[in-house]
Structure 1
C-alpha cells in the first residue's frame, strides 16, 4: 500500500493513522510523571492500535504497565538512571497478538506426541501410503502396545482423493489401536482394533450429530464423523501429567515465537485448566491463556480451581453446532456444490437439534455466561442466531458479547442480525488461503465459495470482528492471518472474493484490540495505551508500508508479555 505523509497524518489505504510529534495527541504525553520507567523503547514505529490509530515513537513501561506512549521527546522524561532503554532503530512495534480462538493444549499435545499427517503447504504427506509409512515409524518409536495416532490428513490433498480406511490402517497394526484425525478435527478414521475396543459393529447406529461410515455390506469402514469419533477417542489413554506439561511448554514456545501474548484454549475442562495453572506456576507458561470450558458444568468445575499465577483465566463456554465445510459436515441452507456420496440434496447436518441448542443458550444466558458457538454453514449460523435471540428474550442481558466461531458462511442478512443482537463473528479467514480453491470448485461453488469469511461486510456494519487460526487445524501464524485478510489469495494464487478484502490496520485490530474486546479485556490489553499491560511485539518490517503480498514474510523479532521478554531472535 502507498504511504502518503501530509500534516502528520499517515494514510494507509483507507485507514488514517495519526503520527505523534512533540507532546501532543499522545496518551501520557500531557500527564505529569510520578516516577521513572523501568523500561523504555524508543526510536520506533509503534502502531498503538488505539481508537485514533496513533503511531508513536516510544513507549515506557513500569510495573508491567504502559505508563507513556508518544514521541521520543515526551517519553524521555520517564528515563532515569536505572531505566533500561532499548533503541528500536526504526523497527515496528505492535500490541501483543491476542488469539481470538485456538486449541492451545491440543496444539501442544499434537506437537509432541501425534504423527504430523498434514499435506503441503503445512506438511509433507501426499498419499495414504505415506500416512501408513509415517505411522509405522511412530510404531517403531512407541512400541506395539501404545495407541498410534496422527493429526492433519486432508483427503482432498491425498493422491488417492479419499479418506483412509480401517483396512489401510490395519496395514500398520491389527492388534494395537490406530486412530488418525482429519485436518478439520471433525472426523477421524480408526483401524479394526480401535473399532473393536469401542464396540462399533455393523449394528451400531449413528449417534446424534455424527456418522459411522459403512461400506456396501453395512460394515464399518473406520470413518467416524463429528460425535461418532468420540465413540473411539474416549478409549484413548489420557496423557500423563508429565506429558501434559511437556506439551504445554511446546505450545507456549511456539505461540510466543509468533507474537502471541494471550492464547486461547477452546473446548477444555477442569483438568485442562488445572494443567495450565500448573504449567504457569512452574514457569512453563510464559504467555497468558484464556480457557473456554465445554458447557456450564465444566465451567463451574474450572472456576473452582485456584488460579493464582495470573497467567490463566476462565472465560465463557464453548459449544458446537456443525462441523467442517471441507469435511462435508458443515450445515448449509442449500446443498453442497459437488454432491456428497452422490446425494444431490445433501447439505450437511447439525450436531444437535435447534431446540437443544436453544435450551443450552438459555441456560448460559440465565447464568450470565458468555457463549462461543462453532458454526460454519449458513444454516448452522441461522440456528445459532435463533438460539441467541431466544436466550436474550428469556433473560435480557446488556453487552453479552456472544460469539459465533468461524462464521464462515455468514450471509448479509445474518450479519445484520449479528449487529442487532450484539453478536461477534470470529472469522477463520485463513480458509481463503488453505481451502479457497476447493471451496470454490468442490464444496460451495463460485458464488458462495468466493464470499466465505465476509470480513469487509462485517466491517461495513461496524461489527467488531475478530480473526483466528483455530490452531492446530492450521499453524499459529498471525502475519499469515493479516496477509490473508488483506489479500484473500489462495494457495494457487487465485483471489477469493476481492470485495471482502480489508486494510492492514483493520485486520490488525481483528487480532489485537477486537480480540481483547471479544473477551471483555479491551481495558487491559489489545492496544498500546497508558494503563494497559505492556504486551508488545517487535516485527522485522511494518505490515502497513510493505508490499501487501510480503506481509506473510514478516518475522517476529521479540515478544513481550507484561513488560517481560518471552521470545527474542538471536539477531
Structure 2
C-alpha cells in the first residue's frame, strides 16, 4: 500500500444488529449514578421523575394502563461505573416508568434489567429484575424488518465514514434469518464488506450452506447471478456459491461459541457441533477459566488436517487481512474472541494451536477504573495481552465489540500503544495500525 493511498480499516468483531438497536434506544451512557440513570429513563418514559412507587391498587391500575404506550428500550449503562456500583432496582424502575414496559440494556449487551410491566410480559418471576438470558430478551417486541434493515444500513454508513471497509459480525445468536437481514442492509449500503458468524448451536438453520459462502439479498442476486434458475423468489435471499468477499452480500463466517452463563462445560459440545458442520470456531473468552475451557475443547476437537496446516502461526506474516480471503470450501484458523485475561502458559497454548486472537484494546482504557478496583496487581499484568501475543507469533487483529466500544480504529490504536494498565503490553503505534488495516 503506497503512502498516498487512503488506508482501509477492518473491525473484526462487532454486532451490527445491536449497533442498530442502540441507535434507536435511549442512550444512558452519560449517567454517572443510579439517580441520573433513572432521570434519563423517566424522561423518555414520560413518567414523573423522582416519584414514589405505587402505594395502593388505584395507583397500580394507573401504572398498568401505561403499558399501552409501547415498550421502551434504553442502553449503555455500566453498573460498576455508576457511583453506587449497582444495577437499578425494580422498585426504582417502576417509579419512573409508570407501567410502560421498559428494558434497560447493559453496555456489554450480556445483561439487562426490566421493570415489572416488561418482566410480566417476558414471563419473569415477581420482583425479578436482572435478565442474563438472551432467549428471554428475544421476547421483547422488535421493530418492523424494514426499520431494522434501515438501521443496520445506517450503521454500515457510519463504519464507512470512519474508514472501515470490512467488518465481522460476531453475534452468537445469528442464524440464516439474521444473515438474510444483514444481506439486505449490505445491498442498501455496499461500501463495507460484511462477514457474519453463525451461532454454533444454530448451524442447522443454514440448510447445508457452508463456511465462506455468500448470502445475497434478492436485489443483488437478480443483478449478479447468471441463470434464471438461480434468481430467488421475491422476498427471499439466496446463496451465490460462486460469490466472494468482494461481492455485495454477507459472507458466512466462523461458528460463534458463546458459553451459557456460568457453564463453560458447554464449550466442548459447541465446538464439536461446529466441527460436525465443517466450521472453524470463534470462542468468546473474557476470563482465565473460560479461556482454559476453550483451549481444552480445541485440543479435544481439533480441526481437519487441512485447516490445521493453514492455521500455523507466523511471526512475520501480516496479521488480519488473510481472514477475508477464503471462499467456499476453504478453511481458516480458529479464533479466540477478546482474550481479556490470560495466563502466560495459556498464551503459549494459543500459539501452539495456531489460533487467531481478535481483541479490543479500548477496554483497557475505558474500563481502567473497573479493572483497578476488581483485579489484583498480578491479574492486571495479565490483562488484555497484546505485545505478549505478537512475541509468540500469534495472529492478532484489533476491533471494537461495538456498540460496547465505538468502532473507531484511531481509538484502538491509541489504546494499544499508550495504555496505562499493563504497560508491558504496549505495542508500537505503527504496528497497532497494521493490526487494524484491511488489504483486499
1:318 corresponds in structure 2 to 256
Query: In structure 2, which of residues 417, 420, 433 is the aligned counterpart of residue 486 of structure 1?
Result: 417
| 1:41-86 Cα shifts (integer Å, max 9, x gaps) | xxxxxxx3xxxxxxx3556xxxxxxxxxxxxxxxxxxxxxxxxxxx
In 1, Cα distance between equivalents of 2:165 and 2:101: 37
| 1:278-317 Cα shifts (integer Å, max 9, x gaps) | 2233x33421211111125346428474256524211111
Distance 1:360 1:157, change over 3 A: closer
| 1:111-147 Cα shifts (integer Å, max 9, x gaps) | 1x111111xxxxx222223322322333359995211
Query: In structure 2, which of residues 411, 414, 422 is the aligned counterpart of residue 497 of structure 1?
Result: 422
In 1, Cα distance between equivalents of 2:167 and 2:249: 10
Matched, 1:234 2:138: yes
Identify, as 1 or 2, the structure richer in strand.
Answer: 1
Instruction: Name segments (4+ residues, structure 1) moved above 6 Å.
Output: 393-396
In 1, Cα distance between equivalents of 2:270 and 2:79: 33
For normalisation by structure 1, the TM-score amounts to: 0.60
Deviation at 1:107, TM superposition (A): 0.4
| 1:384-434 Cα shifts (integer Å, max 9, x gaps) | 000111111898842351111000111111111011111112112112101
In 1, Cα distance between equivalents of 2:305 and 2:185: 38
Contact 1:104 1:263 in 2 (8 A): no
3-state SS of paired residue (1:459): helix
3-state SS of paired residue (2:195): strand
Distance 1:182 1:297, change over 3 A: closer
Distance 1:480 1:57, change over 3 A: closer
Distance 1:438 1:374, change over 3 A: same
Query: In structure 2, which of residues 8, 25, 33 is the aligned counterpart of residue 114 of structure 1?
Result: 25
3-state SS of paired residue (2:407): coil
Matched, 1:139 2:42: no
Aligned pair count reads: 365
| Cα root mean square deviation, aligned | 2.4
Give ranges in structure 1 of 5+ residues lacking alignment: 1-47, 49-55, 60-92, 119-123, 203-218, 323-349, 489-494, 513-525, 528-532, 534-571
Distance 1:376 1:254, change over 3 A: same
Query: In structure 2, which of residues 328, 338, 358 is the aligned counterpart of residue 406 of structure 1?
Result: 338
Distance 1:285 1:117, change over 3 A: farther
| 1:427-447 Cα shifts (integer Å, max 9, x gaps) | 12112101123212x221222
2:316 corresponds in structure 1 to none
Identify, as 1 or 2, the structure richer in helix.
Answer: 2
2:293 corresponds in structure 1 to 383
Matched, 1:420 2:352: yes
In 1, Cα distance between equivalents of 2:346 and 2:430: 25
- Structure ID, larger Rg: 1
Query: In structure 1, which of residues 211, 223, 230 is the aligned counterpart of residue 130 of structure 2?
Result: 223
For normalisation by structure 2, the TM-score amounts to: 0.77
2:403 corresponds in structure 1 to 472
Distance 1:162 1:451, change over 3 A: same
2:392 corresponds in structure 1 to 461
